[in-house]
Structure 1
């Protein structure tokens, strides 16, 4: 089912070929290609799911974002969901053509483990883990050189292992969280909580073009495969609504 046209690009369901050593952590797009983070692998495909580049990366690569020809990944080389002193939070930067590592930045302010990243208004915003007992989530703002600017609090209550994915699209912040069922947080531009919903985008959420949002999901019961589904905001409910109802068979590699 064809959902959205951008030049000669048709976005319906996109299946990432192959099986990976870790589950899907996040997705991003340059509106021509899709980039996937699978914990220990970064993958680049076109919008039809054809494999373009694959590279192995250190554990744990989390959610990702695209900006100015580069891929930025929230990375934690330590432990998640602990109090200060156990995480080793970084941002790794890759060129978007070949996924070669360009640089990396230490971001120790993200004390519970860096797990997600987004670029918005010339700054980067990072989210991550959350120890049990905390009643709010946190967002960390950085400039383009990853100099720490500010820590924000989202009055969301506790969410399982904090925030996994982050996206700014159509005037709102969207945060994907684990849970049974998974949860979606929606805030305004200043991180005031507007809603908390039972909707799964904990494995990836990214703005596309126009009013389309891409949602990352695992593929069936196979934990270490991934897919992207197109969604549009349901104006009545105020949350994304999956548009692809008749997915094609998975690509095998």
Structure 2
């Protein structure tokens, strides 16, 4: 899950004096852009609009499957990939948590979210025995806060948490890393860093709205994240890349 400091990256980073992690380019492509990604120490899982992709840490595709749009952010927990899905197909329209096996991305379950989400769902992470799911908003919403929903592992709702902030489309991605929740949004504040109780710590300019997961800490114990970026190809399809960011002097910045 996103709170792990991944063993493979420990090995990679330990060989480099700057603790740098190499940039990654996903070698898959999809008809819609990346919505979120996560890693389990050996592989990366990229949730695109219509494709779920498993790659190694060089970006080479290991497994891939088509999915209904719109598959959103994802998180890895206990050998499974959990995806926050706002299904837009005529036959399956609704809000779901879709579950896939990390081994080969075969379907491994589904949870229907029965209460209304006006703007759908997108961000998802797992921390301390619970899943946290971000609620979306309509594009023109003037609501000055965002909702994060807390669920048991069986997706029974146990809490609804208010996070102040004017955003477009609400919470896009969530990751729990280095003792903080990191929320990716489409807003001028971009990334919200929150304490474990979701009290706001600060905002950051580095944009994690299409995905982030934990990296090993820097040489001075600084929190680090792998941060995704979308790439639109000349053929009109999408792929994505990822590069490390580090928290320095209270500011999240991309590593150089």
Which of residues 45, 54, 58 is equivalent to 2:64? 54
**Is 2:21 the partner of 1:17?**
no
Name whichever of 141-150 and 7-16 sits farther off.
7-16
Long gaps (5+) in structure 2: 1-7, 16-20, 218-222
**Is 2:66 the partner of 1:37?**
no
1:1-253 → structure 2 map (5 Å cutoff): 5-7=9-11, 11-78=21-88, 88-109=94-115, 111=117, 112-131=119-138, 132-156=141-165, 158-179=166-187, 181=188, 183-210=190-217, 211-219=223-231, 224-234=238-248, 236=249, 238-243=250-255, 245=256
Taking structure 1 as the reference length, what is the TM-score of the superposition?
Answer: 0.84
Tell me: CA distance 1:199–1:91, structure 2 relative to 1, closer, same or farther (3 Å).
same
Match of 2:18 in 1: none
Tell me: CA distance 1:169–1:221, structure 2 relative to 1, closer, same or farther (3 Å).
same
**Residue 58 of structure 1: SS of its match in structure 2?**
coil
Tell me: CA distance 1:187–1:5, structure 2 relative to 1, closer, same or farther (3 Å).
closer
**Residue 7 of structure 1: SS of its match in structure 2?**
helix
Tell me: CA distance 1:160–1:219, structure 2 relative to 1, closer, same or farther (3 Å).
same
In the comparison of the two structures, how many residue pairs are matched? 230
Partners in 2 of 1:138 and 1:62 — Cα distance?
A: 16
Give the drift of 1:151.
0.2
Backbone CA RMSD of aligned residues: 2.2
Taking structure 2 as the reference length, what is the TM-score of the superposition?
Answer: 0.83
Give the drift of 1:5.
4.6
For 1:76-95, what per-residue CA distance to the aligned partner results, in whole angstroms no more than 9, with x for missing partners? 1259xxxxxxx822100000
Partners in 2 of 1:207 and 1:110 — Cα distance?
A: 31
Partners in 1 of 2:167 and 2:145 — Cα distance?
A: 8
